Amino acid sequence: MAKKRISQQTQNINQQLKQKTSQINEKGVFLYNEPLTISEFAKALHHPVTDIIKYFMKQGKLFNQNQILTQELMLELCLEWNIDFEKAKVVTYENLLENINLEDDKKNLVTRPAVVTIMGHVDHGKTTLLDTIRNSKVTNQEHGGITQHIGAYQIKTNNKLITFIDTPGHEAFTEMRSRGSKITDIVVLVVAGDDGVMPQTREAIDHAKVAGVSIIVFVNKMDKPNVNTDRIMNELANCDLTSEEWGGDTIFVYGSALKNQGIDELLEAILVIAELKELNANPNRFANGTVIESHHDKNVGSICTLLIQGGTLKVTDIVVAGSVKGKIKRLINDTGKIITKAGPSMPVQVLGFETAPTPGESFIVFNDDKLARKVALVRQTEETNKIRNNRQISLGNLTQDVATGELKQINVILRADTQGSVQAIVQAVNKINVNDITVKFIRATIGGISESDIKLAQTSRSIIYGFNVRPNHVIREAANNAGVEIRLHNIIYKITEELELAAKGLLEPTYEDKIIGQARVIKTFHFSKVGTIAGCVVINGFIQRNSKVHIIRDNVVIYNGEISGLKHEKNDLKIAKKETQCGITIKNFNDLKENDIIESYLVEEVETK
C-alpha cells in the first residue's frame, strides 16, 4: 500500500514535469505557453486542420499543417472561435516546490485548523496577547507539556484547534510573503484602546490586504481608563475596516490581553471566520508546507519549524525545503513532545535537514531520493545564478516589462512631506493616461521611507517615490539589498513625467557600476601559458566570474578590466564567496602584486537623474 502511494506521487510529479503546456484543460480552457504546429493545435482544440489553414489563407497567409503557430496566432484563433485561454503554469525543477499542482480531490479534503498571525503597532500588546492565549489554552496542558517556543503553536477551544504564528511583527509576515508563500488565513489586528490607529497599524492593514487575508480587530487595553472606542472605530473605518456595529463587515472584539478579557470572544471570532473560509486539506498524502523558523545547532545540526499545509509529515520522509534536502529524523511538537507524524496546519519542529533552510521557503516531501536530490541541486544552482542576476525592481526594468507587454500596471509607493503633497501627486499621477497601462498607488502617505515600505515594495513589485523626504543610510542599504529602487524628487512634474514615460515603455535607462565584492591578493604565480594567477582571499561580498574588475593598489585604481578565470584548487567557480580562497586571472593583465585589491563589479541600470 505504502509502496503504491510512493510510486504514485513520483509518477504524478514526473507527469507534471513532462506535461505539455499548450493544451486544452478539463474546463475547456486553452492553456498556452509553448508554440504548437497547426496540426497539433487543431488536434488540441478538436478543430479541423483545414479550417485553420483556410482562416489564414483569407488573410493572404499560406500555411501548411507543419507551420508553427506563435502564441499571438494561437490566441487570435482562440478569439476567433470564442475559446477561453490562459497562460499555462509550467512546472520545472526550479519552480517545482511552488508550482507543482498538489490540488486534492474534493472527496479527500477534511477541515483543517485556521492559521492566524497577530499584527499591530509596537506596544499595543501583540506579545502579551500571544502569551495569554497560549497560557490559557495550550492543547497538551493536561499532559504537563513544557512550553516550547518553536515559532508557532496550537491551542484548542470549543474542541477546535487554532494555529498561531508566534513571530509577531510585520517583518516576518512580509518576509514569508515576499517568498511567495501564503501561510496565514487570518490576521488579528491588535489596536490599543488608549492609543488608536498608528503607523504600524496602517502598515499591517496594507500588508494583510495585499495578501488577501481576513482581518479581525482586537481592541486591546480596554482595562485602561482613557479608552475611546468610537475614535478607534472611526480611524479604522477610514482604513476601510468598518465594524459590524457600524454596518461594516469587520469583526471587532474588545478586551485586555493583560487581564485575560475578551480572549474567548476573539477565539470565537476566529472560529467563525475559519468556518466561513471553509479551510480544508488532504491529510492522506505526502506533506507540503512552509519553513517558519530555522537555525543551526552545533550538536544536532539544523533545527527547523515547519508549518504543514497539506498532507502528513512522518519520520524518515525525504523532504526538500528551498534548496536544502533532508530526511526527517525527529518530529517535536510545540509542547516539546516527540511525535511520529504531523498533519495539516500543525507546526512541528524537525531534525534532519542537511543545512538550515531559509524561513519562508516552501517544502515538499518527495519519497524519491533521486528526484529530491535533483530538485535541491537545480535550486542551488539557480540560487547562485540569482545572486548574479538579481533582477532589480527599478523603473527601468518595469519600463522594459511594459514595452514587452508583460506588465499592465506600474505599482508605486509614495512617501511625501505633507498630506497636501500626497494628494497633489496622487491626483497628478491619476491623470496619466497611456493606452491600457495604469499607475497604481499601493501606499501613499506622509512620512519618511521605512523598512516596511521596502518589504511591501518587494512583495508588490513597487517603485518607491520620496517627495521632499530623504532616506537615511540604513534605508538606502535595505533598499539596495532588497533590489528595490527609491526615486527622490522635489518637483511633482518630474514624477508624472517619469511615470508617463515608463507607462509608454520609453524611459531610457542609465548605467552605473555596482561593486559586488573585493578580494585581496595573497600570493602571485606566473605561468607562461595563462599568465599571472593571483592567489586571493575574498574579503567582502563575493567575486564573480565574467564580472568586471578594478585593480586597486594603495587605494588607487591602477587597471580596469575583466576576470578571465576564477578557480578554487582545480575547480572552476562561478562565484567565490566571502572568506573563501580562490585563484583569479585577469584578462590581458599580468602585473598583479601581493596586497592588490581585486574589486568585482557589475554594470547596472540606475535611476535617471
Whether residue 541 contacts residue 518, with contact meaning beta carbons closer than 8 Å, is answered with yes
Binding residues for ligand GDP restricted to 149-188, rule: CB under 6 A: 168
Cα 424 to Cα 448: distance, rounded to the nearest angstrom:
18
Gap between the terminal Cα atoms of the chain:
66
Residue type, 277: K
Q: Closest approach of Cβ 197 to ligand GDP, in Å?
A: 14
Q: What is the DSSP string of 338-405?
A: EESEE-TT-EEEEEEESSPPPTT-EEEE-S-HHHHHHHHHHHHHHHHHHHHH---B-HHHHHHHHHTT
Binding residues for ligand GDP restricted to 248-277, rule: CB under 6 A: 256-259
Residue type, 259: K
Residue closer to ligand GDP (CB basis): 102 or 227: 227
Residue closer to ligand GDP (CB basis): 263 or 318: 263
Residue type, 158: N
Q: Which of 51, 104, 123, 235 binds ligand GDP (CB under 6 A)?
A: 123
Whether residue 219 contacts residue 188, with contact meaning beta carbons closer than 8 Å, is answered with no
Q: Which of 31, 53, 124, 454 binds ligand GDP (CB under 6 A)?
A: 124
Helix or strand or coil: residue 186? strand
Cα 392 to Cα 411: distance, rounded to the nearest angstrom:
14
| Total number of residues that touch ligand GDP (CB under 6 A) | 17
473 is in an annotated binding site: no
225 is in an annotated binding site: no
526 is in an annotated binding site: no
317 is in an annotated binding site: no
Q: Which of 57, 68, 79, 122 binds ligand GDP (CB under 6 A)?
A: 122
Residue 25 grid cell:
484543460
Residue closer to ligand GDP (CB basis): 263 or 586: 263
Work out whether 200 is an interface residue with ligand GDP (CB under 6 A). no
| Alpha carbon separation from 506 to 200, 376, 413, 493 (Å, rounded) | 36, 40, 21, 17
Burial annotation 132-160 (CB, 10 A radius, 16+ → b, else e)? bbbeebbbbeeeeeeeeebbbbbbebeee
105 is in an annotated binding site: no
Q: Closest approach of Cβ 205 to ligand GDP, in Å?
A: 15
Q: Closest approach of Cβ 168 to ligand GDP, in Å?
A: 6
Stretch that binds ligand GDP, among 117-125, 275-283, 360-368, 409-417 (CB under 6 A): 117-125
Q: Closest approach of Cβ 459 to ligand GDP, in Å?
A: 22
Residue closer to ligand GDP (CB basis): 112 or 126: 126
Q: Closest approach of Cβ 190 to ligand GDP, in Å?
A: 6
Residue 400 grid cell:
522594459
Q: Closest approach of Cβ 125 to ligand GDP, in Å?
A: 3
Residue closer to ligand GDP (CB basis): 36 or 130: 130
Q: Closest approach of Cβ 269 to ligand GDP, in Å?
A: 17
Q: What is the DSSP string of 130-156?
A: HHHHHHHHBGGGGGTPPP--SSEEEEE
Work out whether 125 is an interface residue with ligand GDP (CB under 6 A). yes
Q: Closest approach of Cβ 210 to ligand GDP, in Å?
A: 21
Instruction: Tell me the per-residue interface mask from 218 to 247 with ligand GDP, x by CB under 6 A, - otherwise.
Output: --xx-xx-----------------------
Cα 171 to Cα 574: distance, rounded to the nearest angstrom:
32
Residues belonging to the binding site for GTP are 120-127, 166-170, 220-223
Residues belonging to the binding site are 120-127, 166-170, 220-223
Interface contacts to ligand GDP, rule CB under 6 A:
120, 122-128, 168, 220-221, 223-224, 256-259
